[in-house]
Structure 1
């Protein structure tokens, strides 16, 4: 028989209620029962899914909420936006709490990595202490090492999911001359500390998992893959005119923004010299004013911005490009191009996390000049586009599904609970009477 659960209506004590409208927003969800209960801490509302990370979280939580009670806690820099969209997640949560990050109004803490400094809150940790003291939580899930500092000291299993090995991203930023980067060795130290605090650590790509196991062989680490079937695998199609180039991404994410700037300033002018009637469309949310200005002044470029579905734009693309030059995670945008059977030109770093068959199905270009030449060659060669489209179609059929991804995460949660129970039993048997 399932043991009795605690289902608190209100997390926040009286000292927090006064600030609720401005700082905290809580709703009772529609999924209130399950085999066990997870407190899930993340840095953005998963829906609507305008980034790969949001898509991964929303697709897995939709499936897992059928059997598991999930108390979703969001510490966000987009408080108004996420509060406005909160109803989208309610069917998949037992409780939903949205907390405003102080960084959005007070700026960053000095001398901290940007990912850590971006998510500040003086109230979240004590509020979590209150909730966890009430009982009923079987395990805690945390998205990203930078969120771990908000957890109080509790005797509960923790699953930490790393969408990227963050210190490697910061190392690349430093190498590219980012003036705001902080020493990546310091970031690696903080990230490794977070891994040690977790019962189980997961990565979304096998490449990152190998790095984690090399860096920290003593921790329990597992693969928590993305799914790739949300667009639907389309058959190869004929690309007639050979003029339309498309790039998709969340431009608030540093690797994607860097790729967009690289594309607009160095690669695209070279393409137009070779194919003057070529057209480029940039799809996705999160672009700042400077990137929009850059796109507006680039010839034959349309900045489309946020769209409901990228599928229609990918179906009209003669070439999909992914000039991302930072390692880490899995590029959901690239998987969507495989699903729509697009001919693809990509930087080698963009293929991290994909199988070898994916590398054989795209044109890989390392330099800006080679990237531009590869795009132009495909635009001018319909037969080569068709061959690459067929290969992309084949790759899409090999990739994991979102059901696979949900199963892997559920298994990690169950294992963490089992490990936590074993550790508590061991403590009881070794404690003196």
Structure 2
């Protein structure tokens, strides 16, 4: 499906952060593992496998969409669980911003076991400018009389950005934490691992409530795991969670303290003729997102995107094939473990577009109504093209950067896809057409007119 420039929104490469070296030279710790805009879109956070959080700030002095480095801090360190003889990686699995209430920023970051609430704020650095032994310009002899004694004076030297862990929420998950979501009331949040979802109060770090528990009495009877969870954007009693059994459960915390009984189950019956050895793996949902108005749900499995109406749980409103060209390669993808890759998905700020990633650093933006799509590639060729003023790869001659993408769509079907390059983590600006894409150790920013 080719698109005309008006429907593609004229997406073009804006910025790239990170080392621009070859993929083979990348340090594992530098690989970006999550990316998230805050609720204003003026700040952007990334977390990496080395446990670092890097924040970017909108550059107001520049026209258009441009971000600059704000601060960086070490959020998590590698740990060792002596009771279970397990190494706990420092890798940041998720970052979620809390709504800004004052001049400081608050954000949650989590690795496999521990969630931290960080306060990031501007701090005035003051130094002693005058004392009994120094007048600010030159040393003074020690005072000889009591009347010569004077109080030291402090002077402002610099403003620095400080990051302080205000709360550490630990020891509540037996399995690896893969999702966190802040409630619309800005007082509570949920964290999820494979078998349980816990509800926390942001102000209480030593106590959480288990609100979903799907662990069977006998682990040999385990048939599904929780894969993602998210709070409803406006109704603080509703949240949803997806499972490896290709379903999404909507739960209401007003019904009961333990939300194992769901209020709604979104599930599509599988066509028996399509069943294969890989069916269970490829139908496992890797990510779910509410639309900003809370009316629709976006879900991503290995081969497709689905849009659900919250009022209709029998089948999705739209099913968008993403990886149809990989159906014949599932055996190879199983061999190299790529079939277990967890692609994320996001809604555009206007709820009219959806975005998800693919292999070879391709990602696709769809119009949720017409399903017209734009294929873009977060690749080094993007900023090379910008430097020399040429078109982006895959565009037809004469087209604006990113306006036509039939060339890239054809390239996606090719045999030569690099499965080590994949777009797993995107984020969309809440109020404008700007997207942030994590591509291995680089952060790409694209914007549309």
Normalised by the length of structure 1, the TM-score is 0.25
Task: Indicate the structure with greater strand content.
Answer: 2
Normalised by the length of structure 2, the TM-score is 0.24
Task: Indicate the structure with greater helix content.
Answer: 1
